[in-house]
C-alpha cells in the first residue's frame, strides 16, 4: 500500500475555489508483492499517461503510511510501519525537485494506516492504528 500525494498541488485559496500548482503526483513507500517494505518515492506526470519515475527515498522502508499533505511547495508524510515497528516520524520533500526526505518532526504517537488533511498552512493526522 502506498499513499498517493496527487492532491499535493491543490491549495485552498478561499471557500469553494482551488488553485492548481502542478502536474506531479507523488507516491511514498509501500510494499512489494512479497510483503517487503520499500523506501521508494516515485512521481508521475498526472496530465498525461506515463510511468512512474524515481523521486528519491524515505529515511527507512515504510508501508501503511498515515497520510500526506502539501502546500504546493513542501510535501509531508507521517507515521507508517517499518521493520522496527510503528513510526511516529514526519518527513518532508520539496515537491518541485527530486530528492530524499528530510526530518520534519514527530507525531504525538506512533501511527499507521491513519489519515492526514491540511489547508496549505496546517496539517492534522487522525485515526489509524498505534
130 occurs within a structural domain? no
pLDDT digits (tens, 9 = 90+) for 75-98: 999 999 999 999 999 999 998 899
Q: 50 is in which domain, residue-wise? A: 3-115
| Residue 5's pLDDT band (cuts 50, 70, 90) | very low
Residue 24: its H or E element: strand 24-31
Residue 15 lies in a domain: yes
CA-CA distance, 92 to 17, in Å (whole number)?
26
Residue 30 has pLDDT above 60, yes or no: yes
Q: Decide if 14 is inside a domain.
A: yes
Residue 91: inside a domain: yes
Does 123 reside within a domain? no
26 vs 19: CA distance, rounded Å: 18
pLDDT confidence of residue 10: 39
The CATH number of the domain holding residue 9 is 2.120.10.80
Per the structure, the count of domains in the chain is: 1
Q: Is residue 78 part of a domain?
A: yes
Confidence band, pLDDT 50/70/90 cuts, at residue 18 = very low
Classify residue 121: in a domain, yes or no: no
What contacts 35, CB < 8 A, 6 or more positions away? Answer: none
Determine how many CB atoms are found less than 10 A away from the CB of residue 95.
21
- Report the pLDDT value the prediction gives residue 3, as an integer from 0 to 100: 42
**pTM as predicted:** 0.79
Residue-averaged pLDDT of the chain: 83
Amino acid at each position: 500500500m502506498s499513499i498517493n500525494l496527487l492532491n499535493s498541488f491543490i491549495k485552498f485559496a478561499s471557500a469553494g475555489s482551488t488553485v492548481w500548482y502542478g502536474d506531479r503526483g507523488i507516491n511514498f513507500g509501500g510494499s512489494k508483492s512479497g510483503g517487503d517494505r520499500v523506501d521508494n518515492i516515485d512521481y508521475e506526470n498526472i496530465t498525461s499517461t506515463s510511468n512512474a519515475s524515481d523521486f528519491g527515498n524515505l529515511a527507512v522502508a515504510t508501508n501503511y503510511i498515515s497520510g500526506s499533505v502539501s502546500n504546493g511547495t513542501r510535501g509531508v508524510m507521517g507515521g507508517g510501519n517499518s521493520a522496527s515497528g510503528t513510526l511516529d516520524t514526519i518527513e518532508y520533500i520539496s515537491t518541485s525537485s527530486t530528492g530524499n526526505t528530510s526530518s520534519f518532526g514527530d507525531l504525538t504517537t506512533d501511527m499507521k494506516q491513519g489519515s492526514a488533511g491540511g489547508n496549505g498552512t496546517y496539517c492534522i493526522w487522525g485515526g489509524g492504528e498505534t
